[in-house]
Structure formats: C-alpha cells, structure tokens
Amino acid sequence: MSHASPMPARRWLLAAGALAAVGTGVGLALWQRRDASEDGPWTLAFERPGGGRLALSEFRGQPLVLNFWATWCPPCVREMPALDRFARDFRGRGWRVVGLAADQERAVRDFLAQSPVSYDIGLAGFAGIELSRQLGNLSGGLPFTVVYGRNGRVKTRHIGETRYDQLAGWASGDS
C-alpha cells in the first residue's frame, strides 16, 4: 500500500490560494479603473497656480478635455497652443479644457508667466501621474488627454501630443 505524500497537495493548495489572491487583486484593480474611468473626475479639486481652487464639478454636464501635462515634457509644451486654440474656438459650443499639471507649483507658475493659456490649469503635482493611470493611462506617460462628453462619459483617451484637428474631431457630435 503506498501513501501519497502530503507535499503535492500542500503545493496545490498554496498555488490555488496564490492564484485566487492574484485574481482578486487584478479584479479589484480593474474595478477601480472602471470606476474612475466611467464615473469621471467630477469629485476632484486642485489648487490653481495663481491661487484659489479648481473644482472639476464645475464642468459636470459640459463636454471636457482633461489634459495631463508637465513643464519638463516637450510634447506637452508643444501641444499647448493647439489646446489653447481649441479652448477659445469651442468655448462658445460649451467645451471646456482643463490642464492638470503633474509638476511642481513654482515651475508651473513660472512657465505660465512666460506662456499663458486661456484654459483652466490645476496643480495635480506628481500624484497627477497616478490619477492619469486611474483614468486609463496605462503607461503613465505624458501628455495624456481624456475627452468627456456632456453625459460625463469618456469619448476618447489619447497618450501623446494632440493636434487641433484631433481635438475638433473628438468634439464633433457633442458640441
């Protein structure tokens, strides 16, 4: 009569437990990402570079371009004139643009003193990178843009530099 060693059963139980833990973690991460992506950023508020608070709840019900950027990011800086032009051209149609700076306050203030924009800027700090990940930026790269329709749902996400014609195209059908 041979007896089965308890080691294979123990390994199997440990492997099953580890797999269940990984599955739970992945499921929770996906649920949190879904929650942040679908529900939008409407409960968030940020300091403005010039003082005061910027509450994203102000923009609920309006189509919104939410752009994550930094002063040290060359494509971020290059796309700012296109974002600024879009903000001015589409404001009359209800569109708003918010730039969330994943940067230090002083660097943002100094940059905007030299290169002002007509759209709202909030100071997200380096935590802005993590926030962008929660909104669908899997790589954590900059610039990252999320476009929300009037209904508050994500219309598109874009990693990398945007162009004016892209922004105008994304705005079609929701202006």
pLDDT grade, residue 8 (50/70/90)? low
> Are residues 76 and 143 in contact, defined by beta-carbon separation less than 8 angstroms?
yes
pLDDT at 104 over 50: yes
Report the C-alpha gap between 104 and 83 in whole angstroms.
21
**pLDDT over 70 percentage in the chain:** 77
Give the pLDDT confidence score for residue 61 in this predicted structure. 95
Q: Could you tell me the CA-to-CA distances from 63 to 21, 46, 94, 137, 172 in Å, in that order?
A: 39, 19, 7, 20, 11
- At the fourth CATH level, the homologous superfamily of domain 45-171 is Glutaredoxin (3.40.30.10)
Q: Which helix (H) or strand (E) holds 66?
A: strand 64-69
Residue among 103, 136, 137 at smallest CA distance from 122: 103
Mean pLDDT of 110-137: 97
Residues contacting 168, CB < 8 A, separation 6+: 86, 89, 90
Token readout for 155 is: 């219309």
User: Of residues 24 and 50, which shows the higher confidence score?
Assistant: 50
145 burial type by CB count under 10 A (0-12 exposed, 13-18 middle, 19+ buried): buried
Q: Using CB atoms within 10 Å of the CB of residue 103, give its burial: 0 to 12 exposed, 13 to 18 middle, 19+ buried.
A: buried
**Looking at residue 173, what is its pLDDT?**
76
The set of residues, in sequence order, having a beta carbon less than 8 Å from that of 36 and lying 6+ positions away, is 134, 135
Q: Which helix (H) or strand (E) holds 100?
A: strand 96-101
Please state, for a pLDDT cut of 90, what percent of the chain lies above it. 75
**Statement: residue 100 has pLDDT above 90:** yes
pLDDT tens sequence across 145-162: 999 999 999 999 999 999
Give yes or no for residue 15 having a pLDDT over 70: no
18 versus 45: the higher-pLDDT residue is 45
Taking only the tens place, the pLDDT of each residue in 25-67 is 333 333 333 444 456 799 999 999 999 999 999 999 999 999 9
Average of per-residue pLDDT across 71-88? 98
